[in-house]
Amino acid sequence: MPLLSTPTRAEIAGVGSALPLRRVDNAELAAQVDTSDEWIVERTGIRSRYIAGDGETTATLATDAARRALDHAGIEASDIDLIVLATATPDQTFPATATKVQTALGIRDCVAFDVAAVCSGFLYALTVADAMIRSGGATTALVIGAETFSRILDWEDRATCVLFGDGAGAMVLRASDDPDRGILATKLHADGRYNDLLYVDGGPSTTQTVGKLRMKGREVFRHAVTNLAAVLGEVLAAAGLTSADVDWVVPHQANARILDATARKLGLSPDKVVVTVDRHANTSAASVPLAFDVAVKDGRIKRGDLVVLEAMGGGFTWGAAAVRY
């Protein structure tokens, strides 16, 4: 890949994803927690999730997803000069999980770091990698969202433990001088006044424990629909597009009702929304690239399609991207 002196775009060269071996359906959960398949399906649309087992970590899932994305792109690991990995569940507080992926892929030298923006992490990572490529700071990047939320769930709290799953998704971004393809626009937001609606009650600098996830679900829900519809409108406007131009929406997969309500607010047909929350549950930073990969591999998202990505999560943080795949 020759170094381009003035890249105008970061294009998506390939995508990949990985899930743990163990699939847990609602009936299996209901045998351990005071819940039911009916409640979970009706309130969230979730039917199953994947839970990491021994030897499966955020780094191993991220590495598997990255390998598949590199294969899909037809790019060698040695061509990667940037890894940005979004996670709220790193293998260790430090070093960055991105450096573990680097080593596992046998990359001798590159820029590698993690981004912490919880469920919006992939949008943040994509925005950073896009900016580095457009400014000439990188030519070929791995952007990864990877999580093992099962390890920070309170399995006694039925209001949260049924909602999340583990997994990873990856994209290979490449500098391109094709002005019509690639990442057209991104838009990010954060509002820390809402820290206490979705958080982990531990950390190295406070309790010196890892902590467990805590969420006021109903309030998060209310903010999610408003913020996501607004940021999708902003990113489309920034790209000079409207809802009518959109071929696919790949949303953060938190709750089927949020996906429906957001699509309705934008006047988008539910048929254009990629939904994987039923099989993967909420995989936080992994959910957008995981859903994107599913829709590419099953033939829905095709080269040339206009795809919008969106997510919102703890912080609050939220964001969106418009891409021509």
* Sign of the alpha-carbon torsion through 66, 71, 72, 78: positive
Q: What span, in angstroms and rounded, lies between the C-alpha atoms of 309 and 262?
A: 12
- Structure-derived torsion over alpha carbons of residues 133, 137, 140, 141, reported in degrees to the nearest 10: -80
Instruction: Answer yes or no: 110 catalytic.
Output: no
Cα–Cα distances (Å) from 202 to 109, 139, 210, 213, 273, in that order, read 34, 38, 5, 9, 35
Closest distance between ligand UT7 and the C-beta of residue 169, in Å?
Answer: 15
Identity of residue 93: T
Residue whose tokens read 């990667």: 80
* 309 counts as binding ligand UT7 under rule CB under 6 A: no
Cα–Cα distances (Å) from 109 to 1, 131, 262, in that order, read 17, 20, 42
- Kindly provide the residue ranges of all beta strands, DSSP E only, lying in 156-270, ordered along the sequence: 166-176, 182-190, 198-200, 213-215, 248-251
* 100 counts as binding ligand UT7 under rule CB under 6 A: no
Site string for ligand UT7, 226-255 (x = CB under 6 A): ----------------------------xx
* 187 counts as binding ligand UT7 under rule CB under 6 A: no
Instruction: Answer yes or no: 280 catalytic.
Output: no
Piece in contact with ligand UT7 (CB under 6 A), picked from 128-136, 216-224, 266-274, 317-325: 216-224
- Is there a contact between 172 and 70 (Cβ–Cβ < 8 Å)? yes
Residue among 26, 72, 110, 119 flagged as catalytic: 119
Name which position in 25, 37, 39, 247 contacts ligand UT7 (CB under 6 A): 39
Instruction: Answer yes or no: 119 catalytic.
Output: yes
Name which position in 51, 101, 125, 162 contacts ligand UT7 (CB under 6 A): 162
Residue among 110, 161, 252, 280 flagged as catalytic: 252
Name which position in 159, 178, 179, 240 contacts ligand UT7 (CB under 6 A): 159
Q: Name which of 8 and 35 has its Cβ closer to ligand UT7.
A: 35
> Contact residues for ligand UT7 (CB under 6 A)?
35, 39, 43-44, 119, 158-159, 162-163, 217-218, 220-221, 224, 254-255, 258, 282, 313
